[in-house]
Structure 1
């Protein structure tokens, strides 16, 4: 576990910087455009290229491309150099064409993800989408460069590069606040306002992509266009990736259902629609991105090498260590989000054109997402077990089950719940779907590798939950006291988070260390060693 811990620590530092600046970016944008019509239009336009990227290449990066690049580096006489060059050439051509086509089809794509938008709101979303959609190419090239870096055990750059994107977007949001008189009004937003938001968003991804390409060059990769598809392994990739595309398509269908329902809820109650869901989801992803993604990224190449060498015992040990390490931090983070969600949201979003009540609503949605943090993280870890075997079929079936549960419960929430609680119901549906999905995925993965050390993992996670309860209790007491003392304002939220969140995590570390939870002891030892230097 020490190798995994060291690699995870390197990536976690970059991811933390990325997520913190991402927090600031989100706060600045929310202050600039709010969560009403303009905020919803921007968030739909911003999300579309991410969806298309996942459909085109994002889904196959970790499931197909990383294991194939690892094999090429091990078995090809040139160490996989030509293979990587052909792969990069193919990706540039595919993503370039996709970016052009998507810009031309922007009105149709926006209509697909919105609920009968008309007038200024629809036109703003289409204009923003046309400015933002070209980033598909840069996003994909940067992601492929990051994947190749990971196969070379170069983890820092992919985690630090998003910081540059966030900084660009922070500047864009601040400039909008200064120069635009439209505020959060979609009707008052001028073409110049929309161009600033749209072009600025794409510029951030361009800078991020350039940073990754430069890092890949420094790692020894030399790009030479190779247009022949022979040697790319399109046959094998196609057979393997077909199920991955099915997986991504199924997941994006689920996202489409959620987006349609959330935008419909936003049309009924201002501030309680797609933007509230999107912002809460971004905050929910912070602990997962900082903790779990770092470990997952380090795990996959190692498990792929173990599978290639026929060492299933090493796969089991790598997975069990990863789950325990991730959950040692994810469990207290999830409980604290469930308690402190409103304070987090008010501190980040309670500024500019965002009202405190709308910020509190985002926090309420975030509290429900906090329940999903552990099952979602375990589900993502389990998928990497299948991907290390080159098995993309099983994740596709698991995704189908996930989406079926999520879509059904989301539709029930939309039809049954009062308008203001619909988005909360969508978050609850998401949580239940990953709880059931993680259970099914565990059973299938356990059969594949001959057991996942389930009793030991379950025992460790139970102890972590018990140890985290005092921290959650302390945070809850601080939240109640802060609300009675001053209500939820920006300043009181800062105090609540510093006292409840900071002291809560400190209490967790102390109790966990005394309870001899080895994963927490390893983290404490690593930090102490760094400080001691």
Structure 2
């Protein structure tokens, strides 16, 4: 599953199945206003800053939610199912259409005469589709909850449905945010789109804070009144509403004057619609696997559904996945997206050698980072989880989430490799070619989750599903590389890719061993609680980083220079300025 519950307001990494959606920037040409070097750097800086702040606030929001409803138990799992529904639905019903059809058309419309009139028609069409889908799916909230949850009690199912009535309307506002944000990007205004999720997090956290002040922490479904459900679920939705509406003043500032216009006849959307169809199919296949995982996770607490037990369920899965996605979203996405533009140009020019070299280089450089990041998450799983759960009094809840995180983290290198394979598929505009791979990955995820339920104790069901997800990324990468070999003239530079990963893997094992030893010392003699978790993460991460870099030097892994190139060049520039 390439996506999960993101820091709120970022519907790019949503709960999903194998394959995920199109990578950022996969659709359409870059805006004309951003093609200069200065425009690219300025836009990249604004986007990176917005993403980093949004991720940070997303973790703070998670801490507030955990303080209100814990990370395990009936209320946490009920809210988890309900609040992920609009993200899942956005990805399925709007994400594919927006990425494959509307976004490229918006970008191109501003490059010709009468562009605003055409954009008005695209926006009107998009708003209409979103509104109709949102109304229909809100009415279907009880069915959606029963599809994604095999809840352990009628009270939990009822609570999840009540939350869903408040949360599913987020679908419209997520879609509106994406549409309006892409219009701003096409006009050369990058900052608002990436910074708007900050508003979402602040607004929702304020509402959750009011809930905590009035109610405190609740774990049992029977404890919540209708008004309290409205306050908690409504706070989540109000944040998404604010995220969309905050873009409106910036549209006016960018010179966009939207007017309702209808009619898309002769717009040339037929070919793009075909791409969207295959994109949607791939996303839907992935969701079939995730439905199985969600139902297994919701059933994990057992028939008694005792809210005092700390057994990983849907909420624990979401928090573990949020931590799993952090290295990918902050580093891997940046590396892969930077490479994607070049891959697209090479694919367009039929430069097979260039695409092969780009894929090889990208997989090797991304692998250096993901191997260390995965090892770090495995070693530091419990301290890292404790950072987002400082209010959690039960050690069992921390250990439950940490166990799921470890199962996912071992698959982080394979996830990075699969992400690079995706970029090649999208560079060739071949969403159809990924579908067979996505089918196999979905079968692995669903089969692994069901096998875990059949063979493991219920306390390990969700961790087993996380391990199945990790296996699916490895299987998907192998199958995708075999398929891409045919497109790349029978060669994919597999030998060099494997050699680099083996050497870096040895370095990661050495780093993990050193980090584990230091962690045992700190846990035995250092402070505990939140302060101890911060100390452990900082010290152990530092030790592992140094050991890893030293091992890569000893093993002569030359891709290290490519990974560190942006940092070293910046340091040289700064030192040069000081010397002058």
2:314 to 271, 274, 291: 274
State how far apart, in whole Å, the 2-side matches of 1:6 and 1:320 are: 29
Greater per-residue helix proportion: 1
Summarize the Cα distance change of 1:24–1:255 in structure 2 as closer, same or farther, 3 Å threshold: same
What TM-score do the two structures reach when normalised by structure 1?
Answer: 0.89
Residue pairs, 1:148-167, within 5 angstroms: 156-167=191-202
Per-residue Cα deviation, 1:415-472 (whole angstroms, up to 9, x for no partner):
1111111111111111111110111112223332444444444344344334434432
Aligned residue in 1 for 2:371: 331
Summarize the Cα distance change of 1:331–1:14 in structure 2 as closer, same or farther, 3 Å threshold: farther
2:159 to 121, 124, 134: 124
Residue pair 1:343, 1:360 contacting (<8 A) in 2 also: no
Alpha-carbon shift at residue 486 of structure 1 (Å): 5.6
1:458 to 471, 490, 498: 498
2:50 to 5, 11, 14: 14
State how far apart, in whole Å, the 1-side matches of 2:553 and 2:411 are: 25
Is 12-21 or 36-45 further displaced after alignment?
12-21
Residue pairs, 1:30-45, within 5 angstroms: 30-34=66-70, 35-45=72-82
Per-residue Cα deviation, 1:39-80 (whole angstroms, up to 9, x for no partner):
01100010111111111121344455555666x369x63396
Aligned residue in 2 for 1:496: 536
State how far apart, in whole Å, the 1-side matches of 2:448 and 2:114 are: 49
Alpha-carbon shift at residue 81 of structure 1 (Å): 5.0
State how far apart, in whole Å, the 2-side matches of 1:349 and 1:216 are: 38
State how far apart, in whole Å, the 2-side matches of 1:462 and 1:476 are: 21
2:399 matches 1:366: no
State how far apart, in whole Å, the 2-side matches of 1:129 and 1:393 are: 33
3-state SS of paired residue (2:429)? coil
State how far apart, in whole Å, the 1-side matches of 2:427 and 2:184 are: 17
2:455 matches 1:419: no
Residue pair 2:135, 2:169 contacting (<8 A) in 1 also: yes
Per-residue Cα deviation, 1:299-324 (whole angstroms, up to 9, x for no partner):
54554444444445554454444434
1:357 to 385, 390, 396: 396
Alpha-carbon shift at residue 240 of structure 1 (Å): 1.8
Aligned residue in 1 for 2:563: 520
State how far apart, in whole Å, the 1-side matches of 2:82 and 2:367 are: 34
Residue pair 1:243, 1:393 contacting (<8 A) in 2 also: yes
Aligned residue in 2 for 1:180: 215
1:115 to 144, 147, 150: 150
Per-residue Cα deviation, 1:205-229 (whole angstroms, up to 9, x for no partner):
1222234555566556553433112
Residue pairs, 1:83-482, within 5 angstroms: 83-116=118-151, 118-147=153-182, 156-181=191-216, 183-212=218-247, 221-268=256-303, 270-352=310-392, 355-450=394-489, 451-482=491-522
Aligned residue in 2 for 1:27: 63
Is 158-167 or 48-57 further displaced after alignment?
158-167
Per-residue Cα deviation, 1:333-377 (whole angstroms, up to 9, x for no partner):
11100111111112221414x522111210111011111112112
Residue pair 1:63, 1:384 contacting (<8 A) in 2 also: no
Alpha-carbon shift at residue 481 of structure 1 (Å): 1.6
Summarize the Cα distance change of 1:382–1:153 in structure 2 as closer, same or farther, 3 Å threshold: farther
State how far apart, in whole Å, the 1-side matches of 2:260 and 2:570 are: 44
Alpha-carbon shift at residue 154 of structure 1 (Å): 6.3
Q: Which runs of 5+ in 1 are unaligned?
A: none
Aligned residue in 1 for 2:24: none
3-state SS of paired residue (1:493)? helix
Is 380-389 or 192-201 further displaced after alignment?
380-389
Per-residue Cα deviation, 1:125-178 (whole angstroms, up to 9, x for no partner):
112111111110111122234445666776654443323222223323322221
Summarize the Cα distance change of 1:189–1:204 in structure 2 as closer, same or farther, 3 Å threshold: same
State how far apart, in whole Å, the 2-side matches of 1:491 and 1:406 are: 37
Q: How large is the Cα RMSD of the aligned pairs?
A: 3.1
Per-residue Cα deviation, 1:257-300 (whole angstroms, up to 9, x for no partner):
10001101123565322111121111111111112233444454
Residue pair 1:37, 1:121 contacting (<8 A) in 2 also: yes
2:90 matches 1:53: yes
Per-residue Cα deviation, 1:224-263 (whole angstroms, up to 9, x for no partner):
4331122443322332222111111111111111000110
Summarize the Cα distance change of 1:29–1:495 in structure 2 as closer, same or farther, 3 Å threshold: same
State how far apart, in whole Å, the 2-side matches of 1:41 and 1:95 are: 25
